[in-house]
Amino acid sequence: MNAEMLRQAVVLLRQGEVVAAPTDTVYGLLADATNESAVRKVYELKHRPAGKPLIVLVPSMDVAKGLVEFSAEAEDIAKRFWTREKLPLTIVLKAKRVSKLITAGGDTVALRLPNNALCLELMNALGKPLIAPSANISGNNTAVSLDMVRRDFGDQLPLIIDGGVCQNPPSTIIDMSTWKLKVLRQGSVKI
């Protein structure tokens, strides 16, 4: 992504807008995770049920630790898959400082540190984590290309960043919010 597009995306995110861009798995609807108005826009755009929580992307382990409670085991798993192996593993943990809109009123949140330069650049420039559900209307096929995002959203988004076709399967989602690890969705990381 060129510097001008990065600047434009950051300006829009700071204004509470939603942009679409490829992540480490599929195209996502990206918005500032600390802006409740932006979070509401994502729910509205996707026609997502209010009771369905959102995934939060973080730029680092330090940011993740500010948002959730890590057990020693969860931290070991996050470090292994996020920082050493750089694989798409989403981990559900007890939330500390996350909007109830994102958690759908619950006490847990799903986090992932993406192995995606664009997402990391956006979060570092914005200085905040991003919500990043898949860029499709709820119930429609997951968007893996610019054309698929445009088909669902037309001109409703102020910016769609073209990153080609995403080739990766969805992230594996595990719940480590209790003492027992539970696989919620089997994706590219085999548990």
Note the pLDDT tens digit of each residue in 22-79: 999 999 999 999 999 999 999 999 999 989 999 999 999 999 999 999 999 999 999 9
- Locate 58 and state its tokens: 């973080």
Q: What is the CATH number of the domain that holds 109?
A: 3.90.870.10
**Structural domain for 35, as ranges:** 3-185
According to DSSP, residue 71 is labeled P
Q: What values do phi and psi take at 18, rounded to 5?
A: -115, 130
Q: How confident is the model at residue 167 (pLDDT cuts 50, 70, 90)?
A: confident
Name the pTM for this structure: 0.95
What is the rounded average pLDDT of the residues 122-135? Answer: 96
84 pLDDT more than 80:
yes
Residue 180, pLDDT > 90, answer no
DSSP string, 124-181: HHHTS-EE--BSS-TTSPPP-SHHHHHHHHTTSSS-B-------SPPPEEEE-SSSS-
Res 173 pLDDT > 80: yes
- How would residue 159 be classed by pLDDT, with cut points 50, 70 and 90? very high
**Distance between CA atoms of residues 46 and 94, nearest Å:** 25
For residues 170 and 51, what is the distance between their CA atoms, to the nearest angstrom?
Answer: 21
Residues 28/37, Cβ–Cβ less than 8 Å: no
Examine residue 83 and state whether it is found in any structural domain, yes or no.
yes
Residue 119 lies inside a defined structural domain of this protein: yes
Residue 170: pLDDT band (50, 70, 90) is: confident
Residue 44 lies in a domain: yes
Any domain includes 9: yes
121 within some domain:
yes
Whether 75 is in a domain gets the answer yes
Does residue 191 fall inside a structural domain? no
Contacts (Cβ under 8 Å, ≥6 apart) of 32: 13, 14, 16, 38, 126, 128, 130, 131
Per DSSP, what are the bridge partners of residue 21? Answer: 28
How confident is residue 1, by pLDDT bands cut at 50, 70 and 90? low
Average pLDDT of every residue of the chain:
94
Q: Is residue 81 assigned to a domain? A: yes
Domains of the chain: total:
1
CA–CA separation, 170 vs 186, rounded Å? 8
Residue 124 has pLDDT above 70, yes or no: yes
Cβ–Cβ < 8 Å for 20, 28: yes
CA 173/CA 89 separation, integer angstroms: 6
